[in-house]
Amino acid sequence: MAWDFSTEPQFQEQLDWVDEFCRTEVEPLDLVFPGAAYSRDRKARALADPLKQQVKDRGLWALFLDRELGGPGFGQLKLALLNEILGRYRTAPVIFGTAAPDTGNMEMLAAYGTDAQKGRWLYPLMNQEIFSAYSMTEPQGGSDPSLFQTHATRDGDEWVINGEKWFTSAGARADIIFVMCTNGMFVVPRDTPGVEIMEYPAIHNHIRYNGVRVPIDHLLGPEDGARVLAQRRLGGGRIHHAMRTVAQVKLAFDIMCERVLSRESHGKVIAHHQMVQEAIADSYAEINMLRLLVLWTAWTIDNSSTREARTQIAACKYTCAKVLREVSYRALHIMGSLGTTDLTPLQAMWASAPTMAIADGVDEVHKVTVARNVLKGYQPHPGLWPTEYLPAKREQARKKYASLLAADADLAAWADAAARATSRRY
């Protein structure tokens, strides 16, 4: 029987270790030295590096990469189960070598890089010796790549890049930036002359590329291949976001459940008020619907490809934003005044829901993808009536019993009466 919802004991042991490790090592580091895991400060890094080493020793480093791409080859389903834990802790993805935007960039490099490009960028990225950013969105519009203008021109042994990008996450601190041009994907070292980082936004940077010159071997994949590379990158990234969102909504749910049992109002613990019970029941069902959608999608990727699973990935993308919005809001609301402060993770979690609905493509675009792909499996009905128009279906079905109806008047009357009774309901 293939429909098995259990986790194999060996991997469950790994997950139990991860759970314990995150609670006892990663969370304290996050609370006292936030950002140490990706800091360039030598002392801060010295706090995080031993934790990364422990992850490597367990064989859990860079779990998102397939074996042929340089990772342990556990696949997306196992990664989803792992991310259900990591997503709860701010820097756990960095400690486990699975943090965006490096993950997507590494996937692109692993899939399309030459041996020399992998040697120069992929392995240092895997070891977090360098960090990267991804520059695709342009200020005049992000949802429609046909509006993008950033372009590279060949000049002898160099490419010269001109254009403007917007919302390049961590661009200002990256060592290399993957710049999507209309005619290819280029790897640009951030300190290349002509890379101008604007003052705002502070984290998701606005960057001008003013005649930026890179050697010809900084083109990644084929010339004019940027959209294919971008799809490869974003497909993986979106499902990883969804996996981590499962962790976030479970955290919101845990906070909410603890609170409803701890607080009294109008003569009883609030868990006994029916509207509070509705919030718990709806959240429970929505979290599990999201979780199963994500796990099924991860399983599909493992058994086919990211491309084959693109409809499911798109559905995960807007569903995770919706469930995050609903569940985090309910949890925040049930916390009362405390929920509106930054003294629990809930306010930040709720505020991140709109981001989840925009980053890596707005909800609307993913819904269009789902509707368009799903409708490919359907046809318009041939005549006037829909296929499920019951009188027409019944007429068809009567042909199967034609000889019986002709031979037995009682059964014919029975069938006629049943048909009239059904029609009278309308």
Residue 4 one-letter amino acid: D
Beta bridge partner(s), residue 219: 186
Query: How near is the Cβ of 237 to ligand FAD at its closest, in Å?
Result: 9
Q: How far is 367 from 249, CA to CA, in rounded Å?
A: 22
176-205 footprint of ligand FAD as x/- string (CB under 6 A) = ----------------------------x-
Shortest Å distance, C-beta 363 to ligand FAD? 7
> What is the number of the residue whose Cβ is closest to ligand FAD?
142
What gap in Å lies between CA 87 and CA 213, rounded to an integer?
38
Query: Mask 69-108, x = binds ligand FAD (CB under 6 A)?
Result: --------------------------------x-------
Q: Which of 112, 148, 159, 167 binds ligand FAD (CB under 6 A)?
A: 167
CA dist., res. 74 & res. 83, Å (int): 13
Range 99-103 contact pairs with CB under 8 angstroms and sequence separation of 24 or more: 99/38, 100/169, 100/237, 100/240, 100/241, 101/132, 101/133, 101/134, 101/169, 101/170, 101/237, 102/128, 102/131, 102/132, 103/64, 103/236, 103/237, 103/240
CB of 150 to ligand FAD, least distance (A): 11
The CB density around residue 167, as the number of other CB atoms within 10 Å, is: 20
**Which amino acid, one-letter code, is at 376?**
K
For the CB of residue 242, give the shortest distance to ligand FAD in the complex, in Å.
Answer: 15
The backbone torsions φ and ψ at residue 148, rounded to the nearest 5 degrees and listed phi first, read -65, 145
Q: How many residues bind ligand FAD (CB under 6 A)?
A: 21
d(CA 322, CA 363): 9
423 near ligand FAD, rule: CB under 6 A: no
Q: How far apart are the two ends of the chain, measured CA to CA in Å?
A: 44
- Sole binder of ligand FAD in the list 240, 359, 369, 370 (CB under 6 A): 359
Q: Which of 216, 269, 348, 358 binds ligand FAD (CB under 6 A)?
A: 358
Choice between 159 and 167, CB closer to ligand FAD = 167
The verdict on 355 binding ligand FAD (CB under 6 A) reads yes
Cβ at position 378, least distance to ligand FAD in Å:
21
What SS3 state is found at 80?
Answer: helix
Q: Could you tell me the smallest distance in angstroms from the CB atom of residue 354 to ligand FAD?
A: 8
Helices 346-356 and 310-334, axial angle in degrees (round to 10): 150
Nearest to 22 by CA among 84, 99, 72: 84
CB of 76 to ligand FAD, least distance (A): 21
Please say which residue, 137 or 312, places its beta carbon nearer to ligand FAD: 137
Closest C-alpha among 208, 131, 132 to residue 166:
208
Which listed residue (76, 105, 128, 168) binds ligand FAD by CB under 6 A?
168
Q: Which of 361, 366, 369, 370 binds ligand FAD (CB under 6 A)?
A: 361
Give yes or no for residue 173 binding ligand FAD (CB under 6 A).
no
Taking CB under 6 A as the criterion, which residues in 128-157 touch ligand FAD?
Answer: 134-137, 141-143
Which residues contribute to the site for ligand FAD (CB under 6 A)?
Answer: 101, 134-137, 141-143, 167-169, 204, 355, 358-362, 364-365, 368
